[in-house]
Amino acid sequence: MFLKPIHFVPPDTKIDFVAKRWVAFSVTIVLLIITGLSVATRGLNFGIDFKGGILIEAKAPQAVDVAALRSQMSGLKLGEVEIQQFGAPDDVLIRIQRQEGDEAAQMTAVDHVRAALGTNYDYRRVEVVGPTVGHELLQAGVLATVLAMLAISAYVALRFEWQFGLAALIATLHDVLTTVGFYSVLHLDFNLTAVAALLTLAGYSINDTVVVFDRIRETLRRHKAVDLRSVINDSVNQTLSRTVMTAGTTLLALLPLVFMGGSTLINFSGALAWGIFVGSYSSIYVAAALLLYMPPLRRLEKAPAVAKA
């Protein structure tokens, strides 16, 4: 007795996605406006990685109570303090915002932390990140994100057609920008972890988009007389179950991190959860619909041969 496959979306679904494109475009415009206004007025809450600050890696005599240690460090009134447990339960990473003044002021803050922790801690690393280094890291993070999106779009353009590459670039840019707006609106720390979240999101988003584009190309080759609107609707409906299941299972893995990961993980897990939702939406409603406003696609006779591994 064989088990029947589970379909979260019925196989015969016939949703007219193209007819709803203006609603989707309106939502996209609203999200981008909110992002622009928030970044312009509130800005981004840059973390120590980008603003500069003090980094202390230490080993405690016993398992670290992060909540108690965070409360203890906040009493020193050194400004923003991030505490993260990593590796073994007795390993701790402390980040402190850059203090006003020269290097002597930074070392004074380090001395305050050492005095508060006591002599039982083994200090393995103490670094002071200057504002120049932080600015360079910010530039490198922005450059990495931009180059990643351009490389992804170039691949799609070469693998399919340039119209697909341009649509993929616009959809991925939409996902990344709205996620930046997510950081700004909620005032989450924007640091190197946030850049990693943006790069992860760009890869996830283009994966969904490529699946939809591949089905569109396949349908165009099989049905040359069918208009593009019908091709897009059929292709999105055929891949809708896969999109829903992929997004759903990924969110199931992320939600425990969002609700139980604490403040140290929320700027990564929260942004990814938002990005998966927005990325799935853009793959379904935005990326494919953009093809309607571009020059006609070539309807090739057959697909190019795929190299075997």
Residue 305 belongs to some domain of the structure = no
The residue that leads in pLDDT, 11 or 28, is 28
* 77 and 173, same domain (yes or no): no
Q: Residue 133: pLDDT above 70? A: no
Say which range, 86-90, 152-156, 248-252, 291-295, has the weakest mean pLDDT. 86-90
Per-residue tokens: 43: 């800005």
Number of folded domains in the chain? 2
* 177 and 60, same domain (yes or no): no
**pLDDT number for residue 1:** 46
- Side chain identity at residue 172, one-letter code: T
DSSP character for 21? H
Residue 153 belongs to some domain of the structure = yes
> Residues 174-180: what's their mean pLDDT?
89
148 burial (CB, 10 Å; 0-12 / 13-18 / 19+) is: middle
For residues 287 and 212, give the distance between their C-alpha atoms in angstroms, rounded to a whole number: 9
Contact between 172 and 283 under an 8 Å Cβ cutoff? The reply is no
**pLDDT number for residue 252:** 85
Residue 308 belongs to some domain of the structure = no
Which CATH number covers residue 93?
Answer: 3.30.70.3400
34: number of Cβ within 10 Å: 15
pLDDT tens figures, 214-269? 888 888 777 766 777 888 888 888 888 888 888 888 888 888 888 876 666 778 88
* 245 and 155, same domain (yes or no): yes
Residue 229 belongs to some domain of the structure = yes
Task: Choose the final residue of a domain: 111, 129, 147.
Answer: 129
* 70 and 167, same domain (yes or no): no
- Among candidate residues 169, 170, 186, the one with its CA nearest the CA of residue 35: 186
The residue that leads in pLDDT, 37 or 282, is 37
Residue 30 belongs to some domain of the structure = yes
* 250 and 158, same domain (yes or no): yes
Between the two ends of the chain, the Cα-to-Cα distance in Å is 35
**pLDDT number for residue 34:** 92
User: Which of the four pLDDT bands, split at 50, 70 and 90, describes residue 131?
Assistant: low
**pLDDT number for residue 37:** 93
* 171 and 76, same domain (yes or no): no
3-state secondary structure of 295: coil
* 67 and 184, same domain (yes or no): no
- Among candidate residues 131, 102, 127, 100, the one with its CA nearest the CA of residue 113: 127
For residues 72 and 101, give the distance between their C-alpha atoms in angstroms, rounded to a whole number: 23
**pLDDT number for residue 9:** 64
3-state secondary structure of 213: helix
Q: Residue 306: pLDDT above 50? A: no
| Mean pLDDT of the chain, nearest integer | 79
Q: What angle do CA 122, 127, 130 make, to 5 degrees?
A: 160
* 182 and 233, same domain (yes or no): yes
Task: Choose the final residue of a domain: 129, 144, 164.
Answer: 129
Per-residue tokens: 93: 């990473």
* Dihedral angle sign, alpha carbons of residues 117, 118, 122, 125: positive
* 116 and 158, same domain (yes or no): no
* Dihedral angle sign, alpha carbons of residues 139, 141, 142, 148: positive
Residue 168 belongs to some domain of the structure = yes
List all residues 6 or more positions away from 130 whose beta carbon is below 8 Å from its beta carbon: 52, 98
For residues 280 and 59, give the distance between their C-alpha atoms in angstroms, rounded to a whole number: 42
Residue 2 belongs to some domain of the structure = no
Structural domain boundaries enclosing 204: 22-44+134-293
Residue 13 belongs to some domain of the structure = no
> Residues 277-283: what's their mean pLDDT?
86
pLDDT above 90 covers a percentage of the chain that reads 4
* 84 and 111, same domain (yes or no): yes
For residues 83 and 267, give the distance between their C-alpha atoms in angstroms, rounded to a whole number: 14
* 28 and 166, same domain (yes or no): yes
Q: Residue 132: pLDDT above 70? A: no
> Residues 273-291: what's their mean pLDDT?
85
Task: Choose the final residue of a domain: 129, 155, 174.
Answer: 129
For residues 11 and 239, give the distance between their C-alpha atoms in angstroms, rounded to a whole number: 10
Which CATH number covers residue 148?
Answer: 1.20.1640.10
Bin 52: left if φ > 0, else alpha if -120 < ψ < 50, else beta: left
* 216 and 261, same domain (yes or no): yes
Say which range, 8-22, 110-124, 138-152, 279-293, has the weakest mean pLDDT. 8-22
Q: Residue 305: pLDDT above 60? A: no
List all residues 6 or more positions away from 61 whose beta carbon is below 8 Å from its beta carbon: 90, 120, 121
pLDDT tens figures, 163-172? 888 888 888 8
Contact between 169 and 150 under an 8 Å Cβ cutoff? The reply is yes
- Among candidate residues 67, 64, 56, the one with its CA nearest the CA of residue 114: 56
Say which range, 53-62, 184-193, 222-231, has the weakest mean pLDDT. 222-231
Per-residue tokens: 115: 């005095």
